[in-house]
Structure 1
Amino acid sequence: MGSSSDIKDLLRERVAAKYTIDDLKETGKKIRETAPIESLAAVSKIDRDPVQFINSVEQNLTESLLPMRHQRMGASQAAFFRGTAELMAYDLRQGEKSGINLLIDGDAHLQNFGFYASPERNLLFDLNDFDEAQINSFEFDIKRLLTSVYLLGDQQGFEADKLDELVQTDASIYRKTLRDLFKLGALDRFYQSTEVKHLMQEIPGAEDSQLLAKFVKKATKRNNDSVVKKYTLTTDDGHMRFKDDPPSSVRLDQATYQAIYDGFTQYRKTTRADILVLLSQYRITDIIHHSVGIGSFGTNCYLVLLSGLGGGHIVLQVKEALPPRQELLPHTERMTLQQEVSQGQRIIAAQMILQKASDPFLGWFNVGDKSYYVRQFRDMKGSVDLEELNFTEFQYYTQITAYLLAMAHAQTPQAAVVTGYLDKHFDSAVQRWSKWYLNQVKADYSAFLRAVDTHLLA
């Protein structure tokens, strides 16, 4: 079954009243008999061509942007890892797994966590990318997170022994946080906070980090007004429009402009009632193609400038919603929009479930066979530059992300099964697997660089 259809089932699902948390935990303990925790450390020969897989994904992207995409991916092993979620997704599906399925992020590496504003204008820190969200084995997320800890830590030259210990600690934090969350009722789990000030208190010593405080300050300055100032200009006749900055920001042809313009009518209907009323006071004054990121660089992505009644502007981002990358690989069946929740709705639904609070402007729309999702562009949004962190700060950061991943998973009731399945041996099992997979990432990165050098990739 395709991942989007799975999410559709999740949205309809009701956990039968006859089941208790203890029942679900007992189910998890029984799963150890068929999927021992030690099996999560099992490794096997990976037999696939990374270049072929990258090519398969890039057939769905804008060809003219591929050279710049490859340049960004080639900057470092970590950048390559960010841009090739399809490789690890495939490898995880081929390997040993628990089979305990719940809503996962699908791409929960260290750099897919970031700052953003709650509707109440509080600064939050949480998962911030959901393009790969799907129903799958819970450990896929923790393995991707821990592999990224090794990858970024290795790239920064941190000692191997310290990284081994840190990765096991991160796994332990995930396990214990999930366990503790299911000592609470469902409503209390739902109301858990990801406000920065709360998270800093959860990890001993994190409050004292001056560097982390610097990133918090930077994020709070990155608001809607600063976005308007940076990306727009006022024409001689007094109209505001986006600045041209090719190849990242380019003008649209009339047909594309009209399609996105018309899609906004659909989008408004998917927003909350209060946002619908708010948007009724704004009109579209410009749309531009604006490419961002690494993994999503090359997808159709737009900025929409809205001008309000009585003044003021909002910048919204419209991103094409592709299926999870693993569905773009060779010999993988894809489902049509008529058979499933649209890809845009899949991504937005996952974001609203996995985040503790979300951008109030979230929504989606479809144009023909393409699906899009919408969010506010860079409003109090930011990330931590991991290359600036010393080991102690890196340690705080990774522990916070492990804590947040457990909070995200705990929103799916099936995560109670995970709490019964896990024991202390889990920490070592996923640590060993992630350390082994680090070498696979390095090998894939080398193959990618050779393919670019020999023009097998643009």
Structure 2
Amino acid sequence: MATRARGRGSGRHDGQPGHGRHTTATARPARTRNPLVTAPGTLATPADRALRGKAARTRVPRSAHASWLPSVDRPDPVAVLERQGRDRLPELLPIRYGRMAASPFAFLRGAAAVMAADLAAAPHTGLTVQLCGDAHLLNFGLYASPERALLFDLNDFDETYPGPFEWDVKRLAVSVAVAARENGHPEAKAGRAAQEAVTAYRTAIRRLARLGELDVWYTRIDAEQLLPLARSTRHRRRAESSLGRARRRTSLQAYGKLTEVVDGRRRIIEDPPLIEPAGTSDMAFLRKIFSDYRSTLSEERRLLLDRYRFVDAARKVVGVGSVGLRCFIVLLAGRDADDPLFLQIKEARQSVLEEHLPSGPYVHHGHRVVAGQRLLQAASDIFLGWMTGPQGRAFYWRQLRDMKGSADVAGMSPADLVSYARLCGTALARAHARSGDRIAIAGYLGNADTFDRAVTAFALSYADQTVTDHATLGAAVAAGLISAAPGV
């Protein structure tokens, strides 16, 4: 375990400039050339790709990732959040701020834009993958494959975007450190848990670098693989209970919990301000864009969707960082009233990474989210699709509940958090290996734990920054500068 480093330097190393919004194009990862190709029609050899990864160490030494010191012109974190909220539903913003003010970990969940700007201010490796963009601990979890197998994987892709692999790794490590501290774990154990996440990532990438392309593509983490991780009968029972709850979280379960019969018709239950009936204009918009969404599905899935009829819709508040975005749930019925399907329609905005990186391949943000999810997940929701709504707003559709489940991070012991951090690091490596050059990344990381220890030092220092930023938000609320609705 490395000793804690505070990052006294400027955050730049070897004379390299920062790679933020004002960086020259030459310092950014190329998007026009496939890094696996050495000449027209010629694929780079594994040895060439490994050397490319090792060469990145000259630009950004692995030990350089330890440094964190906010720049003198670092944007005010509350100002960053307020800028994000300008085009959101204003009546919901107090809920967002109230949720973020609850704890440093809650703040971190909602502050992806703040951390993206901080990561962009330092040099990066240029080893590009499809980033999750918000790879904190609670954005991993259980869900059902189309074959109804229960898988463990990334499960949130609102911020997905092509960028340097280490940005996701650092956000994961920071979330582990912040969660450990909130759980009252000693600093040494917080550092160990963060380092285990990074070590698991490095180990998995190196293992995947030795596999063939199809083997990598078909790699997945089945939920049943989680049970052997339980170290005792009590832990195994807890794991089995979690899997059981996830298997029960289906549209049928949501149907019983979220709906009622009113005047002989099935309706979504109101729970203002979190669930409110869709107004006349919203209902018309949802019905109108349904056909546009349908066109983004494959032919056999269109046929399946056509067997359902529209029953009801409501506006729903979800998450922490997403609060204020336009989000709806739609109830459909299939064979009969007891054959429900719940879909979620969520607004897709510009990724928080976008202003700091070269242009990505997708103009439509709903398409970006769906394409990123399909690329990163081992198997994806069969009803994933996208469309454009009123005023040119981008949306994407998915199932509301499809055997989804998440870990109770707040209740984890130090040993449990270590195990979960390893699992998340492994899952993140699997996702990155599908979209980036895993051999080059493995070459950069190497067999030693240099990168692991450096990112751990960064995570502990940035956890301090998160506490400071959370306090800044709390002070703004206390001063009446922003309105927050706690506990909603």
Q: TM-score with structure 2 length normalisation?
A: 0.86
- For the structure 1 residues 14 and 50, does the alpha-carbon distance in structure 2 shift closer, same or farther, using more than 3 Å as the test? closer
Counterparts of residues 16-55 of structure 1 (less than 5 Å): 16=37, 17-46=42-71, 47-55=74-82
Question: Which residue number corresponds to residue 258 of structure 1?
Answer: 284
Letter in 2 for 1:132: E
Please state how far the C-alpha of 1:274 moved relative to its aligned partner. Answer: 2.2
Please state how far the C-alpha of 1:209 moved relative to its aligned partner. Answer: 3.5
Question: Which residue number corresponds to residue 190 of structure 1?
Answer: 217
Alignment of 1:351 with 2:378, yes or no, is no
Alignment of 1:437 with 2:472, yes or no, is no
Cα distance in structure 2, aligned partners of 1:322 and 1:104: 16
Q: How many residues align?
A: 446
Pick from 292, 308, 323: which aligns with 1:297?
A: 323
What SS does structure 1 have at the residue aligned with 2:435?
Answer: coil
Please state how far the C-alpha of 1:51 moved relative to its aligned partner. Answer: 1.2
Mapped contact 1:42–1:96 kept (Cα < 8 A): no
- For the structure 1 residues 334 and 180, does the alpha-carbon distance in structure 2 shift closer, same or farther, using more than 3 Å as the test? closer
Mapped contact 2:230–2:236 kept (Cα < 8 A): no
Mapped contact 1:206–1:393 kept (Cα < 8 A): no
Please provide the CA RMSD for this pair.
2.5
Counterparts of residues 298-447 of structure 1 (less than 5 Å): 298-311=324-337, 312-327=339-354, 340-367=362-389, 368-423=391-446, 424=448, 425-447=450-472
Question: Which residue number corresponds to residue 273 of structure 2?
Answer: 247
Counterparts of residues 264-283 of structure 1 (less than 5 Å): 264-283=290-309
Please state how far the C-alpha of 1:272 moved relative to its aligned partner. Answer: 2.5
Please state how far the C-alpha of 1:95 moved relative to its aligned partner. Answer: 1.5
What SS does structure 1 have at the residue aligned with 2:124?
Answer: coil
Cα distance in structure 2, aligned partners of 1:402 and 1:153: 16
Q: Structure 1 residues 314-323 or 168-177, which shifts more?
A: 168-177
- For the structure 1 residues 450 and 383, does the alpha-carbon distance in structure 2 shift closer, same or farther, using more than 3 Å as the test? same
Once the two structures are superposed, what CA deviation does each residue of 1:83-131 show, in whole Å capped at 9, x if it has no partner? 1110000000001322212111110001111111111111111110001
Alignment of 1:218 with 2:245, yes or no, is yes
Alignment of 1:91 with 2:113, yes or no, is no
Cα distance in structure 2, aligned partners of 1:413 and 1:93: 19
Letter in 1 for 2:294: R
Question: Which residue number corresponds to residue 65 of structure 1?
Answer: 92
Q: Structure 1 residues 303-312 or 111-120, which shifts more?
A: 303-312
- For the structure 1 residues 14 and 240, does the alpha-carbon distance in structure 2 shift closer, same or farther, using more than 3 Å as the test? farther
Q: Structure 1 residues 400-409 or 387-396, which shifts more?
A: 387-396
Q: Structure 1 residues 342-351 or 42-51, which shifts more?
A: 42-51
Question: Which residue number corresponds to residue 107 of structure 1?
Answer: 134
Cα distance in structure 1, aligned partners of 2:96 and 2:55: 46
Mapped contact 1:44–1:95 kept (Cα < 8 A): no
Cα distance in structure 1, aligned partners of 2:311 and 2:416: 43
- For the structure 1 residues 220 and 206, does the alpha-carbon distance in structure 2 shift closer, same or farther, using more than 3 Å as the test? farther
Please state how far the C-alpha of 1:295 moved relative to its aligned partner. Answer: 1.0
Please state how far the C-alpha of 1:340 moved relative to its aligned partner. Answer: 4.1
Once the two structures are superposed, what CA deviation does each residue of 1:5-44 show, in whole Å capped at 9, x if it has no partner? x99x79x969434212221111111111122111111223
Gaps of 5+ in 2: 1-19, 22-27, 484-488
What SS does structure 1 have at the residue aligned with 2:332?
Answer: strand
- For the structure 1 residues 449 and 102, does the alpha-carbon distance in structure 2 shift closer, same or farther, using more than 3 Å as the test? same
Mapped contact 1:365–1:371 kept (Cα < 8 A): yes
Cα distance in structure 2, aligned partners of 1:213 and 1:96: 43
- For the structure 1 residues 356 and 233, does the alpha-carbon distance in structure 2 shift closer, same or farther, using more than 3 Å as the test? same
Question: Which residue number corresponds to residue 120 of structure 1?
Answer: 147
Pick from 435, 446, 450: which aligns with 2:475?
A: 450
Gaps of 5+ in 1: none
Letter in 1 for 2:387: F
Cα distance in structure 1, aligned partners of 2:232 and 2:368: 34
What SS does structure 1 have at the residue aligned with 2:434?
Answer: coil
- For the structure 1 residues 412 and 433, does the alpha-carbon distance in structure 2 shift closer, same or farther, using more than 3 Å as the test? same
Please state how far the C-alpha of 1:245 moved relative to its aligned partner. Answer: 1.4
Mapped contact 1:130–1:351 kept (Cα < 8 A): yes
Once the two structures are superposed, what CA deviation does each residue of 1:219-271 show, in whole Å capped at 9, x if it has no partner? 112111110111111222x3212111111111233222211211110111111
